[in-house]
A and B are shown apart, each in its own frame.
Chain A
Amino acid sequence: EPEVTQTPSHQVTQMGQEVILRCVPISNHLYFYWYRQILGQKVEFLVSFYNNEISEKSEIFDDQFSVERPDGSNFTLKIRSTKLEDSAMYFCASNLRTNEKLFFGSGTQLSVL
């Protein structure tokens, strides 16, 4: 079965540094998302992306965050200047239509020191 892949699986960074989390969504999917989950807490929506632009974003997704689809396969999340509270598991997801299930990647565990 096709799957969403994310790299790296773990990322450790110093506060104030920039990080880029990478995702390869399922190839024929059109909608792409980033969610995050702080340890032991619920999953939170960050942003959705369709037709090369952001379609929705949450309050968490402030000016420090950006997303990009630089080519036909990758989907990236950039955090410009990381904070301690950005430490979380970041999940990429995709689907073909908005009323279908989201396929989630295995996540990137980001630790900001």
Chain B
Amino acid sequence: ELKVEQNPLFLSMQEGKNYTIYCNYSTTSDRLYWYRQDPGKSLESLFVLLSNGAVKQEGRLMASLDTKARLSTLHITAAVHDLSATYFCAVALTGTASKLTFGTGTRLQVTL
């Protein structure tokens, strides 16, 4: 059974600071996704990472994937209040279509 763990579960950070969210998964995967969810809202796709060493950046967010370590990171640079949300990683098992197993989520709160 695929298990996906994120840490931390909750992160409070000041504006302007940097931080990293970690996503570990238990078995071989060929796709890893990062999503953002605002309270009461849907899931917004941030990144799709398809290969070992993949790195993608959008604004203040950068995601990377190490398939050998079964680890993905979401790095936040110079956080701003608008980034406050819950961030989920999700993993698809190799050979499956898009049956994603989601992590527990990291609730990010950026304070002024």
Which A residues form the contact surface with B (CB < 8 A)?
Answer: 31, 33, 35, 42-45, 48, 50, 55-56, 58, 91, 93, 95, 98-107
Contacts and interface: CB of A to CB of B under 8 A. Distances in A.
A38 to B, nearest CB: 12
B88 A101 contact: no
Given A31-B97, A31-B98, A101 B33 contact: yes
Contacts of A44: 102
- The main secondary structure of chain B at its interface with chain A is strand
Contacts of A105: 42
Q: How large is the interface on B (under 10, 10 to 19, 20 to 34, 35 or more residues)?
A: 20 to 34
Contacts, number: 57
Nearest to B104: A42
Interface of B: 30-31, 33, 35, 41-45, 48, 50, 88, 90, 92, 96-105
- The main secondary structure of chain A at its interface with chain B is strand
B42 A95 contact: no
Nearest to B43: A104
A72 to B, nearest CB: 21
B96 to A, nearest CB: 6
Given A99-B50, A101-B33, A91 B42 contact: yes
